[in-house]
Structure 1
Amino acid sequence: MLPGRGRSLSLWGVRTTWTTVGDGEFFCPGCGGDRNYARRTGRQRRTVLGVPLAARGTVGPVVHCASCEGEFGPEALDHPTTVRLSAMLRDAVHTVALAVLAAGGTSSRTVTATAAATVRSAGFEDCTEDQLTHLVEALSAESGRYLPEEAASGIDCPYSATLAIELHEALEPLAPHLAPAGRESLLLQGARIALADGPYNPAEREVLATAGAALHLCAADTARLLAAARTPS
């Protein structure tokens, strides 16, 4: 190396000035938990002897963790916080339970009791059978879903598009954040509600197939899980 060459190169540098454009709470991939973040953009300038000179453009945006001070791409905000994930899972179980009840009817106390217990275990601690029954009746009246007496008799009723939309809205955003075992467990909970009063009727099978698709389970896996749910553990 020529004398003084390394020293002259060290005189040059780049300085980044950061500006916070948003903040909030996110699941930090560095910390592995819910943390506060600042969303920042930066402007870079070339420096000589520490003095900023010509602008070099912008950088970012980046997500800066207030705890570990790690910086991540904006996609880090796509992962829900643990609090949000718990709420999404709770809502998903509630939606699946209502969908199965709408398909199979609420005349069986065994079914409504199983559904209420499942929803309470998911986090709705005050859920009762009467609440679920009233919700199913209200939803059926609003959108013309399955009539309980038709579903209970095994008639293959036309599938409600509204019900399918609700299942997809509740389950699809959640699915990428659950391990395969978690997605399968959610479907199995719905299957056990349907089986509480006997074999699946056609409407219940259709609801559970829709739930499986929304959970990103292939048709073969959904069929396997519905069969497994019939087998006493």
Structure 2
Amino acid sequence: MLPARGHSGKKSIIWAVRTSWETVGDGEFFCAGCGGDRNYRRRTGRRRLTVLGVPLLSRGSAGPVVECAACQTHFGLDALDHPTTTRFSTMLRDAVHTVALAVLAAGGSSSRPATAAAASALRAAGFENCSEEQLGILVEALAADADPCGVALAIELHEALEPLAPHLAPAGRESILLQGARIALADGPYRPAEREVLTAVGAALALCADDTARLLAAARTPS
């Protein structure tokens, strides 16, 4: 922009490039600037050359951007890929639930120690009213509908865990696997089917094979 000095000695702006914004959508997102869930506006803009405040020439488009309604900070559209805290909590609960059911189904539905361990893990994850009886019914239903190759179970694990993994620190991903391992170990050593399920859990959580094997071995060591 080009400044000019007026009669009073103060600088005034002769020309500048300004952006006019238009809102094309809205919603809720996690604002990294505020550190919490906020409303957002999805906006596109047009840049114009102004002379003495009057818009004259188009200088192209701007955006699209995500603008926080609270702090007005602009972010790229990839900011919407981060789940809100509410959505993240739901994803985490669903992940623990899916892993627990998968491990129970792999180990058989008649193990009371494993079912008790799974119910305890689920209550800690937010399913406050989860009971061993409820889990037993769910596992029996899974056993009745289970496909012999475990394809449906593998798909369900990946659908629950893969979207969550990028938003978890390594310790968080390891914690989910360890919870499943402790459920499997509640009634004795790993069964081959349990180990297979836990290996699939590790892969869906983006843990390398060596880390998965290390964690499964560590879970067997009394703390």
**Number of residue pairs the alignment of both structures matches:** 216
Q: 2:4 matched to which residue of 1?
A: 7
Q: 1:88 matched to which residue of 2?
A: 91
Whole-Å separation in 2 of the counterparts to 1:87 and 1:99: 18
Show CA shifts across 1:27-68 (max 9, x none). 111111111111111112111111001112211111111111
Whole-Å separation in 2 of the counterparts to 1:50 and 1:97: 63
Cα distance, 1:141 vs. partner? 2.1
**Percent identity for Structure 1 against Structure 2:** 74
Which residue among 128, 152, 162 is the counterpart of 1:162?
152
Whole-Å separation in 2 of the counterparts to 1:6 and 1:26: 39
Whole-Å separation in 2 of the counterparts to 1:33 and 1:6: 40
Show CA shifts across 1:77-108 (max 9, x none). 10001111111000000000000011001211
Whole-Å separation in 2 of the counterparts to 1:15 and 1:184: 49
- Asked if residue 174 in structure 1 is aligned to residue 171 in structure 2, the reply is no
Aligned pairs for 1:28-177 within 5 A:
28-144=31-147, 159-177=149-167
User: Bigger shift: 61-70 or 86-95?
Assistant: 61-70
Q: Partner of 2:4: helix, strand, or coil?
A: helix
Show CA shifts across 1:154-176 (max 9, x none). xxxxx401101110100000000
- Asked if residue 215 in structure 1 is aligned to residue 212 in structure 2, the reply is no
Cα distance, 1:7 vs. partner? 2.1
Q: 1:20 matched to which residue of 2?
A: 23
With normalisation by structure 1, the TM-score equals: 0.89
Q: Partner of 2:156: helix, strand, or coil?
A: helix
- Stretches of structure 2 lacking an aligned partner (at least 5 in a row): 6-11
Whole-Å separation in 2 of the counterparts to 1:212 and 1:75: 26
Q: Partner of 2:184: helix, strand, or coil?
A: helix
Q: Partner of 1:110: helix, strand, or coil?
A: helix
- Pairwise CA RMSD: 1.5
Cα distance, 1:212 vs. partner? 0.1
Whole-Å separation in 1 of the counterparts to 2:19 and 2:147: 60
Whole-Å separation in 1 of the counterparts to 2:72 and 2:147: 53
Whole-Å separation in 2 of the counterparts to 1:142 and 1:20: 48
Cα distance, 1:140 vs. partner? 2.5
Cα distance, 1:133 vs. partner? 1.5
Cα distance, 1:10 vs. partner? 3.9
Show CA shifts across 1:135-184 (max 9, x none). 12222222335xxxxxxxxxxxxx40110111010000000000000000
User: Bigger shift: 126-135 or 109-118?
Assistant: 126-135
Show CA shifts across 1:108-131 (max 9, x none). 111111111111110111111121
Structure with greater strand percent: 2
Whole-Å separation in 2 of the counterparts to 1:189 and 1:73: 36
- Assess if the C-alpha contact under 8 Å between 2:44 and 2:62 holds in 1: yes
Amino acid paired to 1:115: A
Cα distance, 1:6 vs. partner? 4.7
Amino acid paired to 1:108: S
- Stretches of structure 1 lacking an aligned partner (at least 5 in a row): 146-158
Whole-Å separation in 1 of the counterparts to 2:26 and 2:210: 43
- Assess if the C-alpha contact under 8 Å between 2:181 and 2:216 holds in 1: yes
